[in-house]
Amino acid sequence: MEKDTVEIIGVETQHSNLGDYEEARREFNWMDEEKRFSWHATGRVNLAFEAIDRHAQSGLGDKIALHYSDPERSESYTFEQLRQESNRAANMLRSLGIGKGDRVFIFMPRTPELYFTLLGVIKIGAIAGPLFEAFMETAVRDRLKDSGAVAIVTTPKLAERIPAHELPELKHVILVDTSTSGETAEGESMLPEDSPFADFNKLMSEASTETEIQWVDREDGLILHYTSGSTGKPKGVYHVHGAMIQHAYTGRVVLDLRDDDVYWCTADPGWVTGTSYGIFAPWLNGVTNVIRGGRFSPQDWYETLQRYKVTVWYSAPTAFRMLMGAGDESVKAYDLSSLRHVLSVGEPLNPEVIRWGHRVYGQRIHDTWWMTETGAQLICNYPSMELRPGSMGKPIPGIEAAIIDDQGNVLPPLRMGNLAIRTPWPSIMRKIWNNPAKFEEYTRIEGWYISGDSAYMDEDGYFWFQGRIDDVINTSGERVGPFEVESKLVEHPAIAEAGVIGKPDPVRGEVIKAFISLREGYEASDELKAEITKFVKDGLSAHAAPREIEFKDKLPKTRSGKIMRRVLKAWELKLPAGDLSTIED
Ligand code: 6R9
C-alpha cells in the first residue's frame, strides 16, 4: 500500500457535472439540492410528479423517457405518455379502493407495465414493494405477510406462487397480460366473470389518463425493499419520498447525467439499484432511460448498447466478469463508441475487470458503493477523479464516511474496521418495517450508521472494501441471507441440520455452499443433492439454491446451538478455524 505502488488510472476528460471533487465537497449543501425541486416552492411533494409530470409540463413532454425492448416487444414512451400511463395506473388502483400508505407489491417481468404500475403506486401515495420474478412461494409469502400488503400486480403465471389463503390482508391480485399489452381489445377481459382476480389490462383501458396526484409529506413512505440479513427473515427496508434529493443529486454528479444522455441501468427493480438508479435517478434528471427485458447474454447486451447508442451504462461486477469471459472479439463486433461513462455496483469490482474494460471499451469502470439501507450511492469514483482499481472511491459531497472500531472510535488511515457513515442523509432508510430492534442494530453507535462491511481508508481518502462483517452472502451481486436458505433446507425431510456459507467464485463473487447433516435413515447421494437443490430453487428462489452441497455427520455449533458458519468457512478455505472456545464439542 506504499503510495508509489498504487495503481492509478488517470482522468481522460475534465468535463463533468461534479467538477473538482474537493471543491465540490467544500461548497456542498443539501439545501441547494432541495431547491431544485418544485416542492421547494409549492410544498407539494410526490416523487413521481418530480420524475415524470414536471418534465411533461415544462417542455420535455415529447422527449423519450423510456426505450423498452425484449425479444418480443420494442416500444418507446415520451414523458407525456408516461405521465398518462402512470395516471391510468393510479386511477386503476384507486378504483379498487387502494390509497395512501397501502402496500402494493409488484411481481412481474421488466415490461413497460411494471414501470407504469410503480409510478402509479407512488402517485397515489401508496408504498411500492417490488419483487424479483425469480421468487418462489415462500419468498413471496414472507414478504407479503410481513408488510401486510393489500394488493399485488402480477402475471397469471407468477400468481400461482401467491398463497392468497395464507394472506388475509391481501385483497387484490391484479393480473397483467404483458405479452399482449395493447392488443387486448378495449374493455375486453381475459378473465372469467367470476374470477377472484382483477384484470390489469381491462382496468387500465377503462381508466382516465388524468388523475389527482396524492401530495405527501417528504417523510411519507415511498418503497419497501426486502433484503437479507444474517439472521431471521428478510427485512423490509423502508424509504421515503424525501430520498429523491439524493437520487437526483447522485444521478447528476455520479452517473454524470446530462440532458442528451441515453442511460441504461441493467438492474431489476426487485433490487434497490433497479429502482433508485433504474427509475428515480434518471427520470428525476429528465434523461432518456433504456430498459431491456429478457435474459442476459453478451450479444444481447452489446446489441442493446449499440441500438440505443447508450452513453451512460450502470451495471455490476458479475455481469462485467461474464462479459470479460465472453472475450474481446465479442466486443469488437459492435459499435460501442457512444459510451461516455460506465459504472458498477453490488460487489467488489476486481482491478482486473477495470483494466480489461479500459482496454476493450476505452472506458474506466467507476465503482460505486452503497446498500439497500442507504437508499442511494455514498462512496464512489467520479469522472473527474483519478481512479484506483480495487477502491470504492471517496464519499460523495455531503457525506462523511469513516472507519470506526466497535466502540465508535474513528481509526486512522490504513486501519481496517467498520465502514460507518455519519447520520443522517436524505436517502437513509427511515425504519425496518415491523422490526424496530433490527433498525437499532445499524445505529447502535451514536451518530453513525454501521454498514456491516469492513474496509479501510488510504492516506488519500480512498476507501477499500474488505468484506462483510456478518455472514451475508453476495452471489452475483444479490444478497442472500444464510439463515433464510438454512430454514428452507431443514424443511426437507432428509435434512437434520444445515449450515450455509458463501464460497469464493471467480465469476459470481460467491456461490452458495450448504453443509448438511442428514436425518436417520437417509443416505448421502448425488440424487439427493440434486433433489435438495431443486427443493430450495422451487421453494425460495433460484439464486438462493446451493450450487454445492457437502454432507457431514455433525455441524459445528455453539453451546447455545448456533451453527458456526465461521468454522464451516474455515473448513472450506482450509484455514485455521480460529477461536473455538464457544463450540459445543
Ligand atoms: C446497492 C447494493 C449491499 C452490500 C454492501 C456490500 C456489497 C455493494 C459494493 C459492495 C464492494 C462495492 N457492495 N457495493 N461491495 N464494492 N462497490 O448493492 O445493495 O444489495 O443491499 O448490497 O453489497 O457488502 O453492504 P445491497
418 in ligand 1 pocket by Cβ < 6 Å? no
| ipTM value for the complex | 1.00
- Helix axes 482-489 and 526-539, enclosed angle (nearest 10): 120
- Cβ atoms of 507 and 318 within 8 Å: the answer is yes
Q: Ligand 1 center to residue 511 CA distance, Å? A: 16
**First vs last Cα of the chain: how many Å apart?**
41
Q: Ligand 1 center to residue 62 CA distance, Å? A: 36
Distance CA(470)–CA(467), nearest Å, equals: 9
Q: Which atom of ligand 1 is nearest to the CA of 227?
A: 21
Residues in Cβ contact with 192 at an 8 Å cutoff, skipping those fewer than 6 apart: none
DSSP 242: G
Question: Quick one: pLDDT at residue 563?
Answer: 79
Strand arrangement, sheet containing 64-69: 74-78, 64-69, 288-292, 262-265, 312-315, 341-344, 365-369, 379-380, 394-395
Distance CA(206)–CA(198), nearest Å, equals: 13
- Nearest CA to 174 out of 199, 202, 196 is that of 199
535 in ligand 1 pocket by Cβ < 6 Å? no
- Cβ atoms of 538 and 528 within 8 Å: the answer is no
Q: Ligand 1 center to residue 203 CA distance, Å? A: 39
Question: Quick one: pLDDT at residue 15?
Answer: 83
Q: Ligand 1 center to residue 320 CA distance, Å? A: 16
What phi and psi values does residue 370 have, to the nearest 5 degrees? Answer: -170, -175
Question: Quick one: pLDDT at residue 185?
Answer: 46
- Nearest CA to 512 out of 557, 537, 535, 543 is that of 543
Question: Quick one: pLDDT at residue 574?
Answer: 87
The full 3-state SS of 90-124, as one line of letters, equals HHHHHHCCCCCCCEEEEECCCCHHHHHHHHHHHHC
Residues in Cβ contact with 160 at an 8 Å cutoff, skipping those fewer than 6 apart: none
Q: Ligand 1 center to residue 318 CA distance, Å? A: 12
Q: Which of 343, 369, 421, 469 is the best mutation target for the ligand 1 pocket, counting ligand atoms within 8 Å of the beta carbon and taking the most?
A: 369
Residues in Cβ contact with 218 at an 8 Å cutoff, skipping those fewer than 6 apart: 39, 45, 240, 241, 242
Q: Ligand 1 center to residue 81 CA distance, Å? A: 34
Closest protein CA for atom 10 of ligand 1: 347
Distance of CA 31 to the CA centre of its chain: 27
347 in ligand 1 pocket by Cβ < 6 Å? yes
Q: Which of 474, 478, 508, 510 is the best mutation target for the ligand 1 pocket, counting ligand atoms within 8 Å of the beta carbon and taking the most?
A: 474
Q: Which three cell numbers stand for residue 179?
A: 405479452
225 in ligand 1 pocket by Cβ < 6 Å? no
Closest protein CA for atom 15 of ligand 1: 347
**For 58, what's the count of Cα atoms within 13 Å in the CB-facing half-sphere?**
11
Residues in Cβ contact with 535 at an 8 Å cutoff, skipping those fewer than 6 apart: 488, 489, 491, 492
401 in ligand 1 pocket by Cβ < 6 Å? no
Q: Which atom of ligand 1 is nearest to the CA of 373?
A: 21
Distance CA(294)–CA(134), nearest Å, equals: 13
132 in ligand 1 pocket by Cβ < 6 Å? no
- Cβ atoms of 342 and 364 within 8 Å: the answer is yes
DSSP 1: -
Closest protein CA for atom 18 of ligand 1: 346
- For the chain (585 residues), the mean pLDDT of every run of 10, in chain order, is 70 86 97 94 95 97 98 97 98 98 98 98 98 94 97 96 94 88 51 79 97 98 90 89 98 98 97 97 98 96 98 94 91 97 93 94 97 98 96 98 97 95 98 96 96 95 90 90 87 91 94 94 96 95 95 83 83 78 55
- Cβ atoms of 369 and 465 within 8 Å: the answer is yes
Question: Quick one: pLDDT at residue 144?
Answer: 97
276 in ligand 1 pocket by Cβ < 6 Å? no
